[in-house]
Homo-oligomer: A and B are copies of this chain.
Amino acid sequence: MADPLNAFVPDSNVFIKGAPTGPLAGLTFAAKDIYDVAGFVTGGGNPDWARSHEPATTHAPVVQALLEAGATLIGKTITDELTRGLLGINAHYGTPVNPRAPDRVPGGSSSGSAAAVAGGLTDFALGSDTGGSVRIPASFCGLYGLRPTHGRIPLEGILKQAPSFDTIGWLADDAEIMGRVGTVLLGPNVPDMPLQRLVIAADAFEMVSDAVTAALAPAIDRVKALAEDSDTLRLCPTSLRDWSQARLTEQNWEANHSFAEWIDRTNPRLAYDCAQRFAAVTEVDTQTIEPVRRAHRDRMAELLTPGSFVLLPTAPGPAPLKGLRRSEMSEMKEHLALLCGIAGGAGLPEISLPLGEMDGCPLGLSLIGPAGADEALLGFARMLKA
Protein backbone atom coordinates (compact mmCIF):
# COMPACT_ATOMS: atom_id res chain seq x y z
CA MET A 1 0.00 0.00 0.00
CA ALA A 2 1.11 3.58 -0.52
CA ASP A 3 2.55 4.94 2.71
CA PRO A 4 3.11 8.70 2.40
CA LEU A 5 3.57 9.02 6.16
CA ASN A 6 6.16 6.23 6.29
CA ALA A 7 4.12 4.82 9.17
CA PHE A 8 4.18 1.17 8.16
CA VAL A 9 6.85 -1.48 8.02
CA PRO A 10 8.05 -1.77 4.41
CA ASP A 11 7.13 -4.81 2.33
CA SER A 12 4.64 -6.24 4.79
CA ASN A 13 1.06 -6.39 3.63
CA VAL A 14 -0.70 -7.19 6.86
CA PHE A 15 -4.48 -7.09 6.64
CA ILE A 16 -6.65 -9.17 8.93
CA LYS A 17 -10.37 -8.61 9.00
CA GLY A 18 -11.93 -8.34 12.43
CA ALA A 19 -15.01 -10.28 13.61
CA PRO A 20 -18.26 -8.98 12.05
CA THR A 21 -19.70 -7.99 15.42
CA GLY A 22 -18.30 -6.86 18.76
CA PRO A 23 -17.52 -3.67 20.66
CA LEU A 24 -14.92 -2.58 18.10
CA ALA A 25 -16.83 -3.64 14.96
CA GLY A 26 -16.18 -1.27 12.12
CA LEU A 27 -12.96 0.13 13.60
CA THR A 28 -9.49 -0.36 12.10
CA PHE A 29 -6.23 -0.59 13.98
CA ALA A 30 -2.49 -0.87 13.37
CA ALA A 31 0.05 -2.63 15.57
CA LYS A 32 3.58 -1.55 16.34
CA ASP A 33 6.03 -4.02 14.81
CA ILE A 34 6.77 -5.60 18.16
CA TYR A 35 3.42 -7.47 18.26
CA ASP A 36 3.33 -10.98 16.90
CA VAL A 37 1.02 -11.37 13.94
CA ALA A 38 0.87 -14.94 12.68
CA GLY A 39 2.76 -15.42 9.44
CA PHE A 40 4.87 -12.26 9.76
CA VAL A 41 8.25 -11.62 11.30
CA THR A 42 8.11 -9.34 14.32
CA GLY A 43 10.77 -6.92 13.17
CA GLY A 44 11.34 -4.68 16.16
CA GLY A 45 12.55 -1.78 14.06
CA ASN A 46 15.87 -3.37 13.15
CA PRO A 47 16.54 -5.23 9.89
CA ASP A 48 19.12 -7.51 11.50
CA TRP A 49 16.56 -8.49 14.15
CA ALA A 50 14.01 -9.22 11.43
CA ARG A 51 16.55 -11.22 9.43
CA SER A 52 17.55 -13.34 12.41
CA HIS A 53 14.01 -14.29 13.51
CA GLU A 54 11.32 -16.55 12.09
CA PRO A 55 7.75 -15.42 11.36
CA ALA A 56 5.37 -15.59 14.32
CA THR A 57 3.11 -18.62 14.39
CA THR A 58 0.27 -17.11 16.43
CA HIS A 59 -1.11 -13.65 17.07
CA ALA A 60 -0.20 -11.86 20.28
CA PRO A 61 -3.18 -12.25 22.65
CA VAL A 62 -4.04 -8.54 22.52
CA VAL A 63 -4.07 -8.61 18.71
CA GLN A 64 -6.29 -11.68 18.86
CA ALA A 65 -8.61 -9.98 21.37
CA LEU A 66 -8.96 -6.86 19.23
CA LEU A 67 -9.71 -8.91 16.11
CA GLU A 68 -12.32 -10.93 18.00
CA ALA A 69 -13.86 -7.67 19.24
CA GLY A 70 -14.41 -6.63 15.63
CA ALA A 71 -11.43 -4.40 14.86
CA THR A 72 -9.61 -4.93 11.56
CA LEU A 73 -5.81 -4.94 11.56
CA ILE A 74 -4.52 -2.87 8.64
CA GLY A 75 -0.78 -2.95 9.17
CA LYS A 76 2.33 -3.15 11.30
CA THR A 77 3.91 0.16 12.16
CA ILE A 78 7.48 1.37 12.38
CA THR A 79 9.01 1.49 15.86
CA ASP A 80 12.19 3.05 17.11
CA GLU A 81 14.92 0.43 17.01
CA LEU A 82 14.20 -2.32 19.58
CA THR A 83 11.78 0.17 21.21
CA ARG A 84 14.83 2.08 22.49
CA GLY A 85 14.09 5.64 21.53
CA LEU A 86 11.75 8.45 22.49
CA LEU A 87 11.87 10.69 19.43
CA GLY A 88 10.52 8.45 16.68
CA ILE A 89 13.71 8.39 14.63
CA ASN A 90 14.62 5.13 12.93
CA ALA A 91 17.95 5.06 11.09
CA HIS A 92 17.01 1.93 9.14
CA TYR A 93 13.42 2.55 8.04
CA GLY A 94 13.27 6.32 8.22
CA THR A 95 11.36 8.61 10.54
CA PRO A 96 7.55 8.46 10.24
CA VAL A 97 5.91 11.77 9.41
CA ASN A 98 4.29 13.72 12.22
CA PRO A 99 1.05 14.69 10.45
CA ARG A 100 0.33 17.48 12.92
CA ALA A 101 3.82 19.01 12.66
CA PRO A 102 5.46 17.74 9.47
CA ASP A 103 8.81 19.45 10.06
CA ARG A 104 9.13 17.74 13.45
CA VAL A 105 9.72 14.21 14.69
CA PRO A 106 6.66 12.13 15.64
CA GLY A 107 7.99 10.89 18.97
CA GLY A 108 8.63 7.27 19.75
CA SER A 109 9.11 4.51 20.07
CA SER A 110 5.48 3.97 18.93
CA SER A 111 6.19 6.39 16.10
CA GLY A 112 4.46 4.69 13.18
CA SER A 113 1.40 3.97 15.32
CA ALA A 114 1.08 7.65 16.19
CA ALA A 115 1.68 8.74 12.58
CA ALA A 116 -0.95 6.33 11.27
CA VAL A 117 -3.58 7.49 13.77
CA ALA A 118 -2.81 11.21 13.53
CA GLY A 119 -2.80 10.94 9.74
CA GLY A 120 -6.27 9.42 9.79
CA LEU A 121 -5.10 6.10 8.34
CA THR A 122 -6.54 4.06 11.18
CA ASP A 123 -8.89 4.54 14.14
CA PHE A 124 -6.46 3.45 16.82
CA ALA A 125 -3.10 1.74 17.14
CA LEU A 126 -1.28 -0.51 19.54
CA GLY A 127 1.96 0.83 20.91
CA SER A 128 4.05 -0.08 23.89
CA ASP A 129 5.43 2.08 26.65
CA THR A 130 8.54 1.26 28.65
CA GLY A 131 9.83 4.75 29.35
CA GLY A 132 7.36 6.96 27.49
CA SER A 133 6.91 5.26 24.12
CA VAL A 134 3.13 5.71 23.96
CA ARG A 135 2.81 8.98 25.86
CA ILE A 136 5.48 10.90 23.94
CA PRO A 137 4.23 10.20 20.41
CA ALA A 138 0.72 10.94 21.72
CA SER A 139 1.94 14.32 22.98
CA PHE A 140 3.96 15.14 19.83
CA CYS A 141 1.22 14.05 17.41
CA GLY A 142 -1.77 15.42 19.31
CA LEU A 143 -3.37 12.11 20.31
CA TYR A 144 -4.68 10.33 23.35
CA GLY A 145 -2.23 7.71 24.56
CA LEU A 146 -2.53 5.37 27.51
CA ARG A 147 0.24 3.64 29.38
CA PRO A 148 -1.71 1.17 31.57
CA THR A 149 -0.77 0.01 35.04
CA HIS A 150 2.31 -2.21 34.78
CA GLY A 151 1.29 -5.87 34.65
CA ARG A 152 -2.37 -5.13 33.97
CA ILE A 153 -2.14 -6.48 30.40
CA PRO A 154 0.18 -9.48 30.03
CA LEU A 155 3.17 -8.99 27.73
CA GLU A 156 2.67 -12.22 25.81
CA GLY A 157 3.55 -12.27 22.13
CA ILE A 158 5.47 -9.02 22.08
CA LEU A 159 9.14 -8.13 21.77
CA LYS A 160 10.16 -7.21 25.30
CA GLN A 161 12.70 -4.54 26.20
CA ALA A 162 12.68 -4.32 30.00
CA PRO A 163 9.85 -6.45 31.39
CA SER A 164 9.71 -4.67 34.75
CA PHE A 165 8.71 -1.52 32.87
CA ASP A 166 7.21 -2.68 29.57
CA THR A 167 3.49 -2.06 29.09
CA ILE A 168 1.04 -2.54 26.25
CA GLY A 169 -0.65 0.74 25.37
CA TRP A 170 -2.70 2.36 22.63
CA LEU A 171 -3.28 5.64 20.87
CA ALA A 172 -6.36 7.21 19.31
CA ASP A 173 -7.57 10.60 18.16
CA ASP A 174 -10.78 10.22 20.11
CA ALA A 175 -11.42 9.66 23.82
CA GLU A 176 -14.50 7.56 23.02
CA ILE A 177 -12.43 5.11 20.97
CA MET A 178 -9.74 5.03 23.69
CA GLY A 179 -12.43 3.87 26.11
CA ARG A 180 -13.90 1.30 23.75
CA VAL A 181 -10.50 -0.31 23.30
CA GLY A 182 -10.21 -0.27 27.09
CA THR A 183 -13.41 -2.31 27.43
CA VAL A 184 -11.70 -5.03 25.37
CA LEU A 185 -8.17 -4.99 26.77
CA LEU A 186 -8.92 -4.07 30.40
CA GLY A 187 -12.47 -5.01 31.29
CA PRO A 188 -16.01 -4.18 30.27
CA ASN A 189 -16.53 -1.27 32.61
CA VAL A 190 -14.98 2.10 31.69
CA PRO A 191 -17.06 4.44 33.87
CA ASP A 192 -17.49 8.19 33.97
CA MET A 193 -15.91 8.85 37.34
CA PRO A 194 -15.78 12.07 39.33
CA LEU A 195 -12.26 13.25 40.24
CA GLN A 196 -11.97 13.82 43.97
CA ARG A 197 -8.51 15.27 44.09
CA LEU A 198 -6.03 16.64 41.60
CA VAL A 199 -2.37 16.83 42.57
CA ILE A 200 -0.48 19.28 40.36
CA ALA A 201 3.13 18.11 40.21
CA ALA A 202 5.15 21.24 40.96
CA ASP A 203 8.54 19.62 40.37
CA ALA A 204 7.41 18.20 37.01
CA PHE A 205 6.31 21.66 35.87
CA GLU A 206 9.70 23.01 36.99
CA MET A 207 11.23 20.83 34.25
CA VAL A 208 9.45 22.75 31.50
CA SER A 209 9.67 26.37 30.38
CA ASP A 210 7.18 29.02 31.43
CA ALA A 211 6.00 29.10 27.83
CA VAL A 212 5.07 25.42 28.01
CA THR A 213 3.23 25.90 31.30
CA ALA A 214 1.41 28.89 29.79
CA ALA A 215 0.47 26.87 26.72
CA LEU A 216 -0.96 24.16 28.95
CA ALA A 217 -2.79 26.58 31.29
CA PRO A 218 -6.22 26.47 29.59
CA ALA A 219 -6.12 22.67 29.59
CA ILE A 220 -5.06 22.59 33.22
CA ASP A 221 -8.04 24.81 34.05
CA ARG A 222 -10.37 22.40 32.25
CA VAL A 223 -9.06 19.49 34.30
CA LYS A 224 -9.19 21.46 37.55
CA ALA A 225 -12.79 22.42 36.82
CA LEU A 226 -13.77 18.75 36.97
CA ALA A 227 -11.90 18.06 40.22
CA GLU A 228 -13.53 18.49 43.62
CA ASP A 229 -10.25 19.55 45.10
CA SER A 230 -6.75 20.35 43.88
CA ASP A 231 -3.35 20.85 45.36
CA THR A 232 0.06 21.84 44.02
CA LEU A 233 3.03 20.04 45.55
CA ARG A 234 6.37 18.47 44.82
CA LEU A 235 6.24 14.75 44.06
CA CYS A 236 9.82 13.92 44.97
CA PRO A 237 11.29 15.00 48.31
CA THR A 238 14.79 15.09 46.78
CA SER A 239 14.97 15.51 42.97
CA LEU A 240 13.10 13.90 40.12
CA ARG A 241 16.53 13.21 38.65
CA ASP A 242 17.19 10.70 41.42
CA TRP A 243 14.07 8.74 40.54
CA SER A 244 14.86 8.97 36.86
CA GLN A 245 18.43 7.80 37.20
CA ALA A 246 17.52 4.80 39.34
CA ARG A 247 14.74 3.84 36.95
CA LEU A 248 16.93 4.22 33.86
CA THR A 249 19.73 2.21 35.41
CA GLU A 250 17.38 -0.68 36.07
CA GLN A 251 15.64 -0.39 32.71
CA ASN A 252 18.94 -0.34 30.80
CA TRP A 253 20.20 -3.31 32.75
CA GLU A 254 17.08 -5.30 31.90
CA ALA A 255 17.25 -4.23 28.26
CA ASN A 256 20.82 -5.48 28.04
CA HIS A 257 19.72 -8.78 29.46
CA SER A 258 16.86 -8.98 26.91
CA PHE A 259 19.15 -8.50 23.91
CA ALA A 260 22.54 -9.80 25.11
CA GLU A 261 22.40 -13.23 23.50
CA TRP A 262 21.24 -11.83 20.17
CA ILE A 263 23.92 -9.12 20.17
CA ASP A 264 26.60 -11.67 21.00
CA ARG A 265 25.42 -14.02 18.25
CA THR A 266 24.77 -11.55 15.45
CA ASN A 267 26.81 -8.37 16.14
CA PRO A 268 23.89 -6.41 14.70
CA ARG A 269 23.96 -3.05 12.99
CA LEU A 270 22.44 -0.49 15.33
CA ALA A 271 22.19 3.26 15.11
CA TYR A 272 24.92 4.69 17.30
CA ASP A 273 22.60 6.05 19.98
CA CYS A 274 20.95 2.66 20.40
CA ALA A 275 24.29 0.82 20.54
CA GLN A 276 25.64 3.34 23.00
CA ARG A 277 22.85 2.60 25.47
CA PHE A 278 23.72 -1.07 25.40
CA ALA A 279 27.44 -0.38 25.66
CA ALA A 280 27.18 2.06 28.54
CA VAL A 281 25.47 -0.30 30.97
CA THR A 282 27.32 -1.67 33.91
CA GLU A 283 26.05 -3.96 36.63
CA VAL A 284 23.27 -2.50 38.76
CA ASP A 285 24.32 -1.60 42.27
CA THR A 286 21.14 -2.80 43.95
CA GLN A 287 22.22 -1.46 47.32
CA THR A 288 22.07 2.06 45.92
CA ILE A 289 19.23 1.66 43.46
CA GLU A 290 16.63 -0.29 45.39
CA PRO A 291 16.02 2.20 48.21
CA VAL A 292 15.45 4.96 45.65
CA ARG A 293 13.11 2.80 43.62
CA ARG A 294 11.13 1.85 46.75
CA ALA A 295 10.91 5.45 47.96
CA HIS A 296 9.63 6.44 44.52
CA ARG A 297 6.86 3.82 44.53
CA ASP A 298 5.92 4.52 48.14
CA ARG A 299 5.72 8.25 47.65
CA MET A 300 3.54 7.98 44.55
CA ALA A 301 1.25 5.47 46.30
CA GLU A 302 0.94 7.85 49.25
CA LEU A 303 -0.05 10.75 46.97
CA LEU A 304 -2.40 8.76 44.78
CA THR A 305 -5.22 8.04 47.18
CA PRO A 306 -8.30 6.50 45.55
CA GLY A 307 -10.11 9.01 43.38
CA SER A 308 -7.07 11.21 42.83
CA PHE A 309 -4.85 11.92 39.83
CA VAL A 310 -1.49 13.61 39.46
CA LEU A 311 -1.30 16.22 36.71
CA LEU A 312 1.92 16.93 34.81
CA PRO A 313 3.19 17.91 31.36
CA THR A 314 3.68 14.80 29.20
CA ALA A 315 6.80 16.19 27.60
CA PRO A 316 9.15 19.15 28.08
CA GLY A 317 7.76 20.80 24.96
CA PRO A 318 6.45 20.20 21.46
CA ALA A 319 8.23 17.74 19.18
CA PRO A 320 11.76 18.82 18.25
CA LEU A 321 12.60 19.61 14.65
CA LYS A 322 13.80 16.84 12.40
CA GLY A 323 17.48 16.62 11.51
CA LEU A 324 19.01 17.80 14.77
CA ARG A 325 22.40 16.57 15.93
CA ARG A 326 22.62 14.11 18.80
CA SER A 327 24.10 16.79 21.03
CA GLU A 328 21.21 19.12 20.22
CA MET A 329 18.67 16.51 21.38
CA SER A 330 20.36 15.23 24.51
CA GLU A 331 18.76 17.63 26.98
CA MET A 332 15.31 17.05 25.49
CA LYS A 333 15.83 13.29 25.78
CA GLU A 334 16.90 13.59 29.38
CA HIS A 335 13.83 15.63 30.30
CA LEU A 336 11.52 13.29 28.41
CA ALA A 337 12.91 10.34 30.36
CA LEU A 338 12.58 12.25 33.59
CA LEU A 339 8.92 13.22 33.10
CA CYS A 340 7.85 9.84 31.74
CA GLY A 341 9.74 8.01 34.45
CA ILE A 342 7.46 9.38 37.18
CA ALA A 343 4.63 6.98 36.29
CA GLY A 344 6.87 4.45 34.53
CA GLY A 345 9.20 3.92 37.45
CA ALA A 346 6.29 3.38 39.82
CA GLY A 347 4.30 1.08 37.54
CA LEU A 348 1.39 3.54 37.45
CA PRO A 349 -1.05 4.26 34.63
CA GLU A 350 -0.78 7.55 32.77
CA ILE A 351 -2.84 9.02 29.99
CA SER A 352 -1.62 11.81 27.73
CA LEU A 353 -4.40 14.15 26.65
CA PRO A 354 -4.09 16.19 23.41
CA LEU A 355 -5.21 19.43 25.02
CA GLY A 356 -2.30 21.79 24.50
CA GLU A 357 -0.74 23.62 21.58
CA MET A 358 2.44 25.61 21.25
CA ASP A 359 4.04 27.18 18.16
CA GLY A 360 1.25 25.52 16.17
CA CYS A 361 2.33 22.09 17.41
CA PRO A 362 0.51 19.67 19.72
CA LEU A 363 1.46 19.48 23.39
CA GLY A 364 0.15 16.79 25.72
CA LEU A 365 -1.07 17.11 29.29
CA SER A 366 -0.87 13.99 31.41
CA LEU A 367 -2.77 12.43 34.26
CA ILE A 368 -1.27 9.68 36.38
CA GLY A 369 -3.73 7.50 38.29
CA PRO A 370 -3.41 5.10 41.19
CA ALA A 371 -2.39 1.53 40.28
CA GLY A 372 -5.32 -0.14 38.53
CA ALA A 373 -7.15 3.09 37.81
CA ASP A 374 -6.73 2.67 34.03
CA GLU A 375 -10.49 2.71 33.43
CA ALA A 376 -10.86 5.83 35.59
CA LEU A 377 -8.28 7.64 33.45
CA LEU A 378 -10.04 6.61 30.24
CA GLY A 379 -13.44 7.59 31.65
CA PHE A 380 -12.15 10.95 32.82
CA ALA A 381 -10.64 11.68 29.41
CA ARG A 382 -14.02 10.98 27.85
CA MET A 383 -15.80 13.28 30.32
CA LEU A 384 -13.25 16.01 29.69
CA LYS A 385 -13.88 15.89 25.99
CA ALA A 386 -17.66 15.98 26.35
Contact = CB atoms under 8 A, between A and B. Distances in A.
Interface of A: 48, 89, 91-92, 263-265, 267-273, 275-276, 278-280, 325-327
A263 B326 contact: yes
Contact of A272 (B89, B267, B273, B326): B267
24 contacts: A48-B91, A89-B267, A91-B267, A91-B269, A263-B272, A263-B326, A264-B326, A264-B327, A265-B326, A267-B271, A267-B273, A267-B326, A268-B272, A269-B269, A269-B271, A270-B272, A270-B275, A272-B275, A272-B278, A275-B276, A276-B278, A276-B279, A279-B279, A279-B280
A275 B91 CA distance: 14
Contact of A270 (B92, B265, B269, B280): B269
Contacts of A272: 263, 267-270, 275, 278-279
- Residue among A265, A267, A271, A273 facing the most chain B CB atoms (10 A cut-off): A267
Contacts of A275: 270, 272, 275-276, 279
Given A267-B272, A267-B273, 19 more contacts: A48-B91, A92-B269, A264-B325, A264-B327, A265-B325, A265-B326, A267-B326, A268-B271, A269-B271, A269-B272, A270-B270, A270-B275, A272-B275, A272-B278, A275-B275, A275-B276, A276-B279, A279-B279, A279-B280
Contacts of A48: 91
Contacts of A92: 269
A91 B265 CA distance: 13
Interface majority SS on A: helix, strand, loop or mixed? Answer: helix
Count the copies. 2
Nearest to A46: B269
Nearest to A81: B269
A47 B267 CA distance: 17
A49 to B, nearest CB: 12
A278 B276 CA distance: 8
Contacts of A267: 89, 91, 271-273, 326
Contacts of A278: 272, 276
Closest 4 CB pairs of A and B: A275-B275, A279-B279, A276-B279, A264-B326
A275 B278 CA distance: 10
A89 B268 CA distance: 12
A284 to B, nearest CB: 18
Contacts of A264: 325-327
A94 to B, nearest CB: 12
A240 to B, nearest CB: 26
A92 B48 CA distance: 11
Contacts of A269: 91-92, 269-272
Nearest to A326: B264
Contacts of A326: 263-265, 267
A52 to B, nearest CB: 12
A327 to B, nearest CB: 5
A273 B264 CA distance: 9
Nearest to A259: B272
A268 B275 CA distance: 10
Nearest to A277: B279
Contacts of A280: 279
A267 B273 CA distance: 7
Nearest to A268: B272
Contacts of A325: 264-265
A278 B275 CA distance: 10
Nearest to A91: B269
Contacts of A271: 267-269
A361 B275 CA distance: 35
